[in-house]
Structure 1
Amino acid sequence: MRRITILLTLLLTVIYTNAQTEKSIRQITQEVMERASTQYINMASTLEKGKMPRSFSKNRLITSDIYWWCSGFYPGTLWYLYEYTGSENIKKLAHTYTEKLAPLQFLKTDHDIGFQLFCSYGNGYRLTGNKEYLNILHNGAMSLATRFNPVIGSIRSWDSSRDKWKFPVIIDNMMNLELLIWIGNQYNDPYLKTVAITHANTTMKNHFRPDYSTYHLVDYDPENGKIIKKQTVQGYNDNSKWARGQAWALYGFTMMYRTTHSSRYLEQAQSIADMLIPLLPSDGIPYWDFDSPDIPNDLRDASAGAIMASALVELSEYLPEKKIHYQSIAERQLRTLSSPEYLAASNTNGNFILKHSVGHKPMKGEVDVPLTYADYYFIEALIRMNNLEKQE
């Protein structure tokens, strides 16, 4: 019976995918945005006061307080949905949930300020010009910069109370650098930009293997800057290609090229993309770790696919000779994520948009569930791809 169910699901997915190929990205985006808007409006009615959505498991909505690293993704997605739809109702929700994050601007024990504030307040400022948002972003950037160690040349990621690491730096931290560079430009503060560029350069030097795959974590001695060890905490093993880590790297160095125009970052991003693309399954959605011994029977990670798609759309604009290739891969990923296999039906999935993401499989945390950052980068990628269609 289970085999028959699986075969029927695959058949329906193939039929739907074939139908999807006849639609333009603009049509697919319209359909997804309508459903996503309904889901995210409904989600607000299910949230307890002071809580942010985190995931959905065993028919239960999993929430967090504002200090969880993902707290900026729900308001950030609301801002993207407002950008696309122009809905005043969604704009109001985006503002309400963004303002809840204000205490984070002075937090100096968290490297995820970029995720938390730039996705929320950053998109809000971009779309509304609210000066209060700009001030909060400035304070947040200044707080984040206090975690920079000039001896190492990096921003500390985790404050470990478990004595596992002395000065851990994870590849995810690349995503927090945009806040520093953007605020540095807004306030003519070269120090913030120097911190971001130095961190990116240190990461490029120490996180990557010869094939341009990345470790998840590098631990340093804060006294002399020497490397203690390299690990992949959330992947299959220390030397494996954890999919979301590779996606953070691709997105991060693409962003660094956009914000600095340094060719070395463009070369790094292209090398990462050219390493990743041949590893993808035919539908474009990566397995949670490219080196899992259980492939092809292991879990996919929709979040990694969404992040990669968004990065590839942007990267394609900087490399004319790769434009068609990168956009075709991103389009394949977005069409797959928009299929019933990954896109949740209305009033299901805890009102999240995407199914089938993997958070921390080795620790059995958030495995094969919806995640807020998967939704965020999926909607961002669709908007980016849709905007390309408008330009052509």
Structure 2
Amino acid sequence: MSTSLDWAQEAWAQTVRKVARTSQRIGDRFPHASVKGEYQLEPASWWTAGFWPGLLWLLYRDTQDEQSKLLAESCEGQLDQVIADYYRLDHDIGFMWTLTSVARYKLLGAEDSKRRGLLAANLLVARFNVQGNYIRAWNPWREGEDNAGWAIIDCMMNLPLLHWASKATGDPRYKHIAIRHADMAVEHFIRPDGSVNHIVIFDPHTGEKLEVKGGQGFAPDSGWSRGTAWAIYGMALSHLHTGDERYLDAAKRAAHFFIANLPEDHVPHWDFRLPEGVTAYRDTSAGACAACGLLLIAEQVSGQESSLYRQAGERILHSLYTNYGAWDSETEEGLILHGTSHYPEGKNVDVPLIYGDYYFVEGLSRLLGHGELFW
């Protein structure tokens, strides 16, 4: 596509205007999915609590808008109540505190945010299973349930919190655990064709791999698009933080599978391997996250290879802006339409999702060269 980024500048301006409007209602609360045009608000303990303040920090970095800063800081402060509640903390600690405390520390040098980020990193480290070399995913959903052996591909995006903690303290323990989890994911999550497992279950006592579950994908052996996006971006970030070429190779393998299976408008369906009769809803959040990963891969390779990944990421973001954006709608708070959170359980299907909005804005920010990654 054209080398001009005029469309991205336009999209950025549209984003700034729309968020200025929607933030008047959302304020310092925690949007998750937009239903009938209005973002539904979740408690501070919900796994997506970091994405709205993270989006506000992206905008603040460019605009220096004081209101965005104040709202993001208030969101971060509310997470203090969560960090003391063991039962509400899981693998998504990284999503929550990277985009709040680490973001604020990187932008403002705030010491209180550094302390919060380090406390969160210690809690994430505590979920590491040394027998299986994985960070445990969720806590039990109901009494008597045992999911101590569950690991998920999403957790690749939580590892940057640990890499940051090692850099911030000079203590390599955090990084060691991030590396061991990433090594496990290369072995057990990334398939030879670049598609990705969502859930892998291990024996938590021996570390033996027991089972693969479909999770939010259609089936255990299907091609859940957002899981592929988590792998693309998460592996690219692991390469960024370690320089280990195995992670870059894994990111490329997942990227090739993702790109090869995109439809004509470059925005993925929620799963790349759907049988006839299953509705192939789009998942714009998968597209936005994958685009960020593709742009990062492009920065870590050179020449024509770099152009390939950058152009692929830019095409996705451009399509999201032109074909899926809700820029002029007064009745829709979401930025990007047609996200799909959890089709198998019928949760938030074909709606805007806050993490889709976040990754779209981050992708624009990367294209426009606005500053360093929060991850």
TM-score norm. by structure 2 comes to 0.92
Q: CA deviation at 1:258?
A: 0.4
CA offsets, 1:246-267, max 9 Å, x none?
Answer: 0000000000000011111111
Equivalent runs, 1:286-297 vs 2, <5 Å? 286-294=268-276
- Does residue 1:139 correspond to 2:139, yes or no? no
Does residue 79 (structure 1) correspond to residue 57 (structure 2)? The answer is: yes
SS in 1 for 2:300: coil
| Match of residue 350 from structure 2 | 368
> 1:105: Cα distance to partner?
3.8
**Corresponding residue for 2:324?**
342
Q: Distance in 2 between matches of 1:69 and 1:144?
A: 14
Are 1:30 and 2:9 counterparts? yes
Take 1:263 and 1:72, find their aligned partners in 2: how far apart are those partners?
Answer: 30
The alignment's C-alpha RMSD in Å is 2.0
Question: Displacement, 1:294?
Answer: 4.6
Matched residues in 1 for 2:153 and 2:331: separation?
29
Alpha-carbon distance change, 69 to 281 in structure 1, aligned in 2, over 3 angstroms? same
Residue by residue over 1:126-155, the C-alpha shift from the partner in whole angstroms, topping out at 9 and shown as x without a partner, is 111111111110000001111111011111
Amino acid at match of 1:265: Y
**Number of the residue aligned with 1:127:** 107
* Paired positions, count: 365
* 2:99 maps to amino acid: C
**Quick check: 102-111 or 169-178, which moved more?**
102-111
Would the alpha carbon gap of residues 347 and 94 (structure 1) be closer, same or farther in structure 2, given more than 3 Å must change? farther
Task: Check the 8 A contact 1:39/1:347 in 2, yes or no.
Answer: no
Change beyond 3 A, Cα 1:248–1:263? same
What is the correspondence of 1:86-101 to structure 2 with a 5 Å cutoff?
Answer: 86-101=64-79
One-letter identity of the residue aligned with 1:123: A
Match of residue 303, structure 1, among 285, 293, 309: 285
Structure 2: runs of 5+ lacking an equivalent: 371-375
Counterparts in 2 of 1:333 and 1:295: CA distance versus 1, 3 Å: farther
Tell me the CA shift for residue 110 of structure 1.
Answer: 1.3
Secondary structure of the structure 2 residue equivalent to 1:354: coil
Tell me which amino acid in the other structure corresponds to 1:327: R
Q: Which residue of structure 1 aligns with residue 226 of structure 2?
A: 244
Q: Give the whole-Å Cα distance in 1 for the aligned partners of 2:359 and 2:331.
A: 18
Task: Give the CA deviation at 1:328.
Answer: 1.1
Deviations 1:315-342 (A, max 9, x none): 0111114111111111111110111x31
Separation of aligned partners in 2, 1:347 and 1:297: 26
C-alpha contact 1:349 1:370 (8 A) present in aligned 2: no
State which structure, 1 or 2, has the greater radius of gyration over its C-alpha atoms.
Answer: 1
Residue of structure 1 in register with 2:193 after alignment? 211
1:324 corresponds to: 307
Alpha-carbon shift at residue 368 of structure 1 (Å): 0.5
The Cα shift of 1:183 comes to 0.6
Residues 326 and 139 of structure 1, relative CA distance in 2, 3 Å threshold: same
* 1-structure distance, mates of 2:207, 2:278: 40
- Contact 2:339–2:353 (Cα < 8 Å) also in 1: yes
Q: Please give the alpha-carbon distance, in whole angstroms, between the structure 1 residues aligned to 2:279 and 2:201.
A: 33
Quote how far apart the aligned CAs of 1:59 are: 4.2
Question: If the length of structure 1 is used for normalisation, what is the TM-score?
Answer: 0.88
Distance 1:167 1:191 in 2: 22
8 Å Cα contact 1:359-1:367 kept in structure 2: yes
Question: Does residue 99 of structure 2 align to residue 116 of structure 1?
Answer: no
**Conserved in 1, the CA contact under 8 Å of 2:225 and 2:268?**
yes
Residue 202 of structure 1 aligns with which residue?
A: 184
What CA distance in whole angstroms lies between the structure 1 residues aligned with 2:99 and 2:79? 11
